[in-house]
């Protein structure tokens, strides 16, 4: 049963490893508070659930769904973009349903990378950009995201021969794990770079709706030229508290969408139609729930920022996302600090190096836990760990 080389050095997914640590601690009787994975604790809104319950009773929905997704779902996505950012999309050619955006992100590499081709991958970054590249036989080239550059990649630092060989560039704003956001100037530069070197930009935007104090993140697709060079991955997961439902989409350049569809139709059989029908109601129905959600995350962000600041941390306040990205204290690595926190307090935070080598020296807190438990987590850190040096 010798495994293929492509998976021999493949580690279990970052959060599968974190889950194992949580299970071990729980087995020892620890009351674990997980600020690890970004998995909304609040329920999916009722009107979406009600629609699912209705749709699940329709036998038409029990059959294979369409490979590219129900046209009605793709139309709802197009309407969502029109309403949000005045972007006009052809739902038939420029939108595709995904089984959560993670799936599309992993599959896009199979569409464009030949053996040895390069994908430009942000670091720290969502692990699937690099892993999808490796599984396709490609080579991830790291674009460091540094605090001094606002956690934006420095495109001018990419060597000419690398740019020439690159086929894909992954970008993700609002950013996981750093919480950084990108402005139009940056996106315009990235689009010009992509045009110059014939690179496809895969922008991952699942956190675009979770923003604070009136800030409205840009969609990549609203930037002039974006539709010529790339696509945006998006998802119902974070906006509508639907991580478990597995539904997302890719939207943008029609040729890229078609290529992704060709791979996918040979590998999967689409998203259960009842879920797509419920998601349509989510996209087209009451959006006030998102403002309420952001209010809750804002309160939680305040608790974390104020709590850490009182202990001596200097932490950036993210304009968007469900994360806080903070430096580990002096004398610790990402791993040793997260281990200390778990051991002494039962609180799980994610080590920054799980998102790549440039995440070393940081840890990430996810705000997806009840406000009460979040307060408790901060109190435990204060009581059991006290002050640190930075």
Applying CB under 6 A, what is the total number of residues that bind ligand MLT? 7
Q: CA nearest 237: which of 250, 248, 228, 223?
A: 248
| The dihedral formed by the CA atoms of 141, 147, 148 and 152, expressed in degrees to the nearest 10 | 50
Distance CA 200, CA 133 (A): 13
Contact (Cβ atoms closer than 8 angstroms) between residue 356 and residue 130: yes
**Residue 288 burial (10 A CB sphere; 0-12, 13-18, 19+):** exposed
**Does 234 contact ligand MLT by CB under 6 A?**
no
> For ligand MLT, what does the binding mask look like between residues 13 and 32, x meaning CB under 6 A?
--x-----------------
Minimum CB distance to ligand MLT, residue 296 (Å): 17
Sequence-separated (6 or more) residues with CB below 8 Å from residue 242? 44, 48, 235, 236, 279, 282
Cβ-proximal residue to ligand MLT, closest one: 38
Among 22, 33, 34, 38, binds ligand MLT (CB under 6 A): 38
**Does 37 contact ligand MLT by CB under 6 A?**
yes
Q: CA nearest 277: which of 50, 101, 67?
A: 50
**Does 203 contact ligand MLT by CB under 6 A?**
no
Helix axes 371-385, 288-310, angle to 10 degrees: 10
The piece of 36-44, 82-90, 140-148, 338-346 that touches ligand MLT (CB under 6 A) is 36-44
The piece of 2-10, 34-42, 109-117, 271-279 that touches ligand MLT (CB under 6 A) is 34-42
Binding to ligand MLT, residues 157-186 (CB under 6 A): 176
**Does 252 contact ligand MLT by CB under 6 A?**
no
Binding to ligand MLT, residues 65-104 (CB under 6 A): 102
Q: Reduce the DSSP state of residue 321 to 3 states and report it.
A: coil
Structure tokens at 315: 């932490």
> For ligand MLT, what does the binding mask look like between residues 357 and 386, x meaning CB under 6 A?
---------x--------------------
Closer of 89 and 348 to ligand MLT (Cβ): 348
- Binding interface with ligand MLT (CB under 6 A): 15, 37-39, 102, 176, 366
């Amino acid at each position: 049963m010798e495994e293929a080389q492509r998976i021999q050095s493949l580690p279990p997914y970052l959060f599968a490893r974190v889950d194992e640590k949580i299970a071990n601690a729980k087995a020892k009787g620890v009351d674990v508070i997980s600020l690890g994975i970004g998995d909304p604790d609040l329920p999916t809104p009722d009107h979406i659930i009600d629609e699912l319950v209705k749709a699940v009773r329709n036998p038409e929905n029990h059959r294979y769904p369409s490979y590219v997704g129900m046209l009605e779902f793709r139309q709802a996505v197009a309407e969502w973009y029109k309403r949000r950012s005045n972007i006009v999309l052809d739902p038939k050619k420029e939108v595709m349903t995904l089984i959560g955006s993670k799936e599309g992100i992993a599959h896009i590499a199979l569409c464009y990378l030949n053996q040895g081709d390069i994908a430009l991958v942000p670091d720290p970054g969502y692990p699937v950009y690099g892993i999808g590249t490796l599984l396709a036989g490609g080579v991830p080239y790291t674009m460091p995201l540094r605090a001094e550059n606002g956690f934006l990649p420095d495109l001018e630092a990419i060597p000419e021969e690398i740019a020439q060989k690159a086929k894909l560039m992954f970008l993700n704003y609002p950013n996981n794990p750093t919480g950084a956001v990108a402005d139009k100037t940056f996106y315009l530069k990235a689009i010009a770079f992509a045009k110059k070197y014939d690179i496809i930009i895969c922008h991952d935007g699942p956190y675009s709706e979770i923003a604070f104090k009136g800030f409205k993140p840009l969609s990549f697709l609203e930037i002039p030229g974006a539709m010529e060079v790339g696509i945006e991955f998006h998802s119902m997961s974070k906006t509508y508290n639907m991580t478990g439902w597995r539904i997302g989409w890719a939207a943008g350049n029609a040729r890229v969408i078609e290529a992704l569809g060709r791979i996918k139709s040979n590998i999967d059989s689409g998203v259960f139609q009842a879920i797509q029908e419920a998601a349509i109601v989510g996209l087209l129905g009451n959006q006030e729930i998102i403002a309420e959600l952001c209010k809750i995350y804002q309160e939680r962000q305040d608790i974390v920022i104020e709590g850490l600041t009182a202990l001596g941390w200097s932490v950036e306040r993210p304009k968007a996302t469900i994360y806080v990205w903070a430096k580990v204290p002096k004398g610790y690595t990402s791993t040793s600090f997260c281990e200390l926190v778990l051991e002494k307090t039962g609180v799980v935070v994610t080590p920054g190096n799980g998102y790549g080598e440039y995440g070393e020296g940081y840890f990430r807190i996810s705000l997806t836990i009840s406000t009460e438990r979040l307060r408790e987590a901060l109190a435990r850190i204060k009581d059991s760990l006290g002050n640190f040096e930075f």
